[in-house]
Amino acid sequence: MSNTADLPVRWVKSSYSSGDGGQCIEWAPEHAVKTGDYLVRDSKDPHGPHLTLTACQWAGLVAFAGKHG
């Protein structure tokens, strides 16, 4: 939807992430509100790549995590 390279991003750990340092993902809620792009990354690799999801893809990920979390 938008060019995400120029926007500052605040990452938030997902409530579905485990507390033991395992399955940790972060997302950028303010970025999603501003742009419609849902950014997701591995919290153990904050300088690594991230996924950019549409609202529909984000909803599918959250639904999957809720069933399997």
pLDDT digits (tens, 9 = 90+) for 16-52: 666 665 668 899 999 999 999 999 999 889 899 999 9
pLDDT digits (tens, 9 = 90+) for 51-68: 999 999 999 988 998 887
| Residue, of 24 and 9, whose pLDDT is higher | 9
Q: pTM for the complete prediction?
A: 0.76
Q: Which residues contact 18 (CB under 8 A, 6 or more apart)?
A: 24
The pLDDT of residue 24: 84
The pLDDT of residue 16: 60
Q: For residue 44, count other CB atoms closer than 10 A to its CB.
A: 12
Euclidean distance between CA atoms 29 and 54, whole angstroms: 13
